[in-house]
């Protein structure tokens, strides 16, 4: 019998599977103990999700504003300080030819897209439900998708959020340095970061300091890492990589950011303020002052 698919069925876009994206039984005791102060590996169910294929990424590149699409050459030095170069290119072509384009391409903060937003929130809800309640509420959920050529590298940098980096295609190795190393991540640098978003001076060189952790990621695996941990990424050389990063701020990370913003002000006055966590009463006082300052600012607006 000859069967033809109906035109409606043929034209339909593939429906995204419903999840779950992270099964709680895959989160072990060690991972639960590590959250949120140390990185740990996770398993996920995002392989094959229609948003996380070359076609899915291409569709996203075409519908998000151009400012959300970033790229750089694949062969940057992992120890590069500052932002990598962004040579003129058509990002759609880079994605289409990613196997040979020798490029790294990122879709930054694309959570305004309804499908991406739903996926990011669903994943993070499921992940946090599987972990101990140690960070309070989740704020500012963001989603970043990366597609990159075999062997592509992302130089050392840091981000202010809790991060789940999830590998969907190809492989990569993620190197991480503990934010507690004050010789490579001094408090003054963290204070500059939370007040100006400036990480250009991050003094980490792989030659000088071996990473504290190196995770090898394959499709179906991923990684949680805490805010501000310096990290660098290098792809496997066999095929192009696709990965997703779902990030969030928390009551916990916001508290530290507020204290560091206050510390930056105190340091400008010539004082040597104590870092977050060193003194409970000092932390409380600084947060109170910052909250009052913000309240006053709102009043005079
Ligand atoms: Fe990052």
Provide the CATH number for the domain formed by 16-250 in this structure: 2.60.120.650
- Comparing 2 with 207, the larger pLDDT belongs to 207
Residue 232: how many other CB atoms lie within 10 Å: 22
CA of 298 to the centre of ligand 1 (A): 33
Return the percentage of the chain with pLDDT > 90, whole number.
74
CA of 198 to the centre of ligand 1 (A): 14
Give residue-wise pLDDT tens across range 24-62.
999 999 999 999 999 999 999 999 999 999 999 999 999
Residues shown for the chain:
301
β-pair partners for 221 = 43
CA of 237 to the centre of ligand 1 (A): 20
CA of 265 to the centre of ligand 1 (A): 27
pLDDT at 86 over 80: yes
Q: What is the pTM of this model?
A: 0.89
Tell me the C-alpha distance between 108 and 145, whole Å: 7
CA of 6 to the centre of ligand 1 (A): 45
CA of 177 to the centre of ligand 1 (A): 12
CA of 93 to the centre of ligand 1 (A): 24
Model confidence band, residue 22 (pLDDT cutoffs 50, 70, 90): very high
Tell me the C-alpha distance between 228 and 192, whole Å: 12
CA of 277 to the centre of ligand 1 (A): 24
Tell me the C-alpha distance between 151 and 156, whole Å: 16
Tell me the C-alpha distance between 157 and 174, whole Å: 12
- First vs last Cα of the chain: how many Å apart? 74
Model confidence band, residue 14 (pLDDT cutoffs 50, 70, 90): low
CA of 110 to the centre of ligand 1 (A): 15
Give residue-wise pLDDT tens across range 239-250.
999 999 999 999
CA of 163 to the centre of ligand 1 (A): 8
Element (H, E) at 125: helix 114-129
CA of 199 to the centre of ligand 1 (A): 12
CA of 250 to the centre of ligand 1 (A): 17
pLDDT at 149 over 70: yes
Asked if 208 contacts 174 with a C-beta cutoff of 8 angstroms, the reply is no
Question: Looking at residues 102-126, what average pLDDT do you find?
Answer: 96
CA of 270 to the centre of ligand 1 (A): 32
CA of 3 to the centre of ligand 1 (A): 49
pLDDT at 290 over 90: no
């Amino acid at each position: 019998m000859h069967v033809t698919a109906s035109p409606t069925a043929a034209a339909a876009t593939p429906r995204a599977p419903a999840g779950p994206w992270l099964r709680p039984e895959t989160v072990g005791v060690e991972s639960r103990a590590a959250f949120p102060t140390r990185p740990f590996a996770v398993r996920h169910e995002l392989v094959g999700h229609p948003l996380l294929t070359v076609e899915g990424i291409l569709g996203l590149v075409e519908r998000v504003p151009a400012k959300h699409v970033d790229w750089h050459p694949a062969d940057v030095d992992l120890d590069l300080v500052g932002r990598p170069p962004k040579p003129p290119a058509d990002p759609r072509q880079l994605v289409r030819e990613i196997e040979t384009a020798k490029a790294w391409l990122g879709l930054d903060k694309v959570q305004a897209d309804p499908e991406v937003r739903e996926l990011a929130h669903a994943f993070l809800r499921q992940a946090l439900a599987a972990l101990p309640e140690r960070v309070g509420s989740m704020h500012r959920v963001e989603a970043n998708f990366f597609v990159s050529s075999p062997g592509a590298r992302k130089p050392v940098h840091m981000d202010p959020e809790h991060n789940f980096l999830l590998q969907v295609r190809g492989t990569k190795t993620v190197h991480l340095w503990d934010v507690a190393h004050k010789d490579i991540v001094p408090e003054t640098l963290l204070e500059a970061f939370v007040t100006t978003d400036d990480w250009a001076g991050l003094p980490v060189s792989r030659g000088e300091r071996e990473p504290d952790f190196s995770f090898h990621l394959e499709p179906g695996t991923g990684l949680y890492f805490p805010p501000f941990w310096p990290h660098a990424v290098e792809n496997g050389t066999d095929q192009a990589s696709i990965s997703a990063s779902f990030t969030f701020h928390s009551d916990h990370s916001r508290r530290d950011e507020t204290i560091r913003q206050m510390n930056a002000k105190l340091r400008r006055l010539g004082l040597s303020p104590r870092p977050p966590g060193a003194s409970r009463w000092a932390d409380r006082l600084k947060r109170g002052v910052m909250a009052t300052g913000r309240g006053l600012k709102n009043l005079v607006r």
